[in-house]
Amino acid sequence: MIHYKLLTPGPLTTSHSVKKEMLVDHCTWDDDYKQITQKIRKELLKLAHVSEEEYTAVLMQGSGSFGVESVLTSVIGQNDKLLIIVNGAYGERMISICQHAKINYTVYQEVYDQVPSAEKTAEILAEDPAITHVAMVHSETTSGILNDIASITKEVKAAGKTMIVDAMSSFAGVDIEVGGLGIDFLISSANKCIQGVPGFSFIICNRKKLMESEGKARSLSLDLYDQWKTMEKDGKWRFTSPTHTVLAFAKALEELEEEGGIPARSKRYYDNNHLLIQKMKEMGIRSYIGGEYQGPIITTFFYPEQSSFSFPEMYEYVKSRGYAIYPGKVTDADTFRIGNIGEIYKEDIEKLCEIFKEFFESRKAE
Ligand SMILES: *Cc1c(COP(=O)(O)O)cnc(C)c1O
């Protein structure tokens, strides 16, 4: 088996101890398993800075998109209308979910290298009173841009609408005051900044808003309210749960705490990210997002200006030396992406940049 570290935004490189948790086959009906689920739910609320009285956490089988689809198809009723704020592929995916489920929606489209504006959002809400819900992505993993959810949520709340945030690639990597901001539904998944393995998503839900969604779901498996109702009783999952993933996730939460919680993890990610961008800049590789809006999760870089440059060649060169990077075309310009979340440290970034340097120099010599 080839061993390499993942410089992708999930699945990502997990610790050996997280992987080791998956070496047991756990049953799902006994109390200790249900208690693990309950403990995870409590811990997630703490990370979101919300109280158990006001909020509740629901775990949902599947990848992150299943969580987004669960929320959109469960809480937006037949007479409701969703405003989707889009500046990347994950915003576009929400449009696709609404089209499939025949959810009434409208779009505020922003270009991919700009953050959506709170003023523009307020204008749209004022002009279209039929809008009841607003959804947006926090860290747009397409480009690496970090959207300003605080200022937009403020406008959404002032207008009395429900706020939905896809914080898939940012939750626990960037501190989010979910309750303080007034976010009603926030979605993330097991294989992003908490550094677990893929298998489920989770949703931090405002209890009152969740209760209001009863009976609205357009899908059985993704019914958020029903999933909550079963889980809330004693920690039982409605259908077969991804047991190995759940055990690994419980361990990953412990390791997040040991690292020093979100502040320490966030700092490591920001430091990795700054170091990467600086070293790439020294090699003449520019990043796609301007400094101010660049998030700490993943960075999009323009191809170098060497005429002989080949991304597949670089990808193989880097991978055979221990790191898998991420392709990605966000604009008409050719770009590639490097994630710096997961079990990735300063030494990895330094080593990676040495590999890039070698690669560029070897091509120049040809
Ligand atoms: C990873 C991610 C998702 C979910 O993608 P899946 O492939 O379904 O796990 C959704 N939104 C964002 C912003 C993401 O980074």
CA of 61 to the centre of ligand 1 (A): 14
Four-point Cα dihedral 296, 339, 322, 272, nearest 10? -10
Q: Among residues 229, 257, 285, which one ends one of the domains?
A: 257
Question: Would you say residue 31 has pLDDT above 80?
Answer: yes
pLDDT of 7:
95
Same domain, 271 and 247: no
pTM: 0.97
Question: Would you say residue 222 has pLDDT above 80?
Answer: yes
157-206 pLDDT tens trace: 999 999 999 999 999 999 999 999 999 999 999 999 999 999 999 999 99
pLDDT of 327:
80
End-to-end Cα, the chain, rounded Å: 32
Same domain, 247 and 325: no
92-114 pLDDT tens trace: 999 999 999 999 999 999 999 99
Q: Among residues 257, 277, 298, which one ends one of the domains?
A: 257
pLDDT of 281:
95
Q: How confident is the model at residue 306 (pLDDT cuts 50, 70, 90)?
A: confident
CA of 347 to the centre of ligand 1 (A): 27
Decide if 12 contacts 330 (C-beta within 8 A): no
pLDDT of 73:
98
The whole-number average pLDDT for the span 299-314 is 89
Q: How confident is the model at residue 85 (pLDDT cuts 50, 70, 90)?
A: very high
Same domain, 162 and 88: yes
Q: Among residues 257, 284, 313, which one ends one of the domains?
A: 257
What total number of domains does the chain contain? Answer: 2
Instruction: Name all residues whose Cβ lies below 6 A of ligand 1.
Output: 9-10, 63-65, 68, 90, 137, 141, 166, 168-169, 189
Same domain, 235 and 276: no
pLDDT of 366:
61
Same domain, 88 and 219: yes
248-282 pLDDT tens trace: 999 999 999 999 999 999 999 999 999 999 999 99
Fill in the DSSP letter of residue 191: T
Same domain, 155 and 298: no
Q: Which atom of ligand 1 is nearest to the CA of 141?
A: 15
Question: Which residue out of 86, 141, 142, 298 has the highest number of ligand 1 atoms within 8 Å of its CB and is therefore the one to mutate?
Answer: 141
Same domain, 128 and 23: yes
pLDDT of 363:
82
Q: What's 110's domain CATH number? A: 3.40.640.10
Same domain, 177 and 73: yes
Q: Which atom of ligand 1 is nearest to the CA of 68?
A: 10
The whole-number average pLDDT for the span 84-92 is 97
Q: Which of these, 187, 157, 190, 13, lies nearest to 90 by C-alpha position?
A: 187
pLDDT of 334:
87
Question: Which residue out of 6, 63, 170 has the highest number of ligand 1 atoms within 8 Å of its CB and is therefore the one to mutate?
Answer: 63
Q: How confident is the model at residue 136 (pLDDT cuts 50, 70, 90)?
A: very high
Spell 18-52 as b/e; 16+ CB within 10 A means b: beebbeeeeeeeeeebbebbbebbebbbebbbbee
Q: How confident is the model at residue 333 (pLDDT cuts 50, 70, 90)?
A: confident
Same domain, 228 and 309: no
pLDDT of 1:
66
Fill in the DSSP letter of residue 287: B
Structure tokens at 243: 């047991």
* Residue at token pair 């993943």: 298
Structure tokens at 85: 């704020």
Question: 185 or 327: whose pLDDT is higher?
Answer: 185
Question: Which residue out of 137, 168, 201 has the highest number of ligand 1 atoms within 8 Å of its CB and is therefore the one to mutate?
Answer: 168
Residue 276 parent element (H or E): helix 261-282
- CA-nearest residue for atom 12, ligand 1, is 168
Question: Would you say residue 331 has pLDDT above 70?
Answer: no
- CA-nearest residue for atom 4, ligand 1, is 64
pLDDT of 307:
76
Compute CA 221 distance to the chain's CA centroid, rounded to the nearest angstrom.
22
**Residue-number span of the structural domain to which 326 is assigned:** 5-9+261-364
Same domain, 99 and 222: yes
Question: Would you say residue 10 has pLDDT above 90?
Answer: no
CA of 296 to the centre of ligand 1 (A): 16
CA of 3 to the centre of ligand 1 (A): 24
Amino acid sitting at position 126: A
Of 14-23, 300-309, 339-348, give the lowest mean pLDDT range: 300-309
pLDDT of 365:
66
Q: What's 334's domain CATH number? A: 3.90.1150.10
Same domain, 216 and 300: no
Question: Would you say residue 330 has pLDDT above 90?
Answer: no
Q: Which of these, 227, 268, 232, 261, lies nearest to 71 by C-alpha position?
A: 227
Same domain, 47 and 136: yes
Question: Would you say residue 324 has pLDDT above 90?
Answer: yes
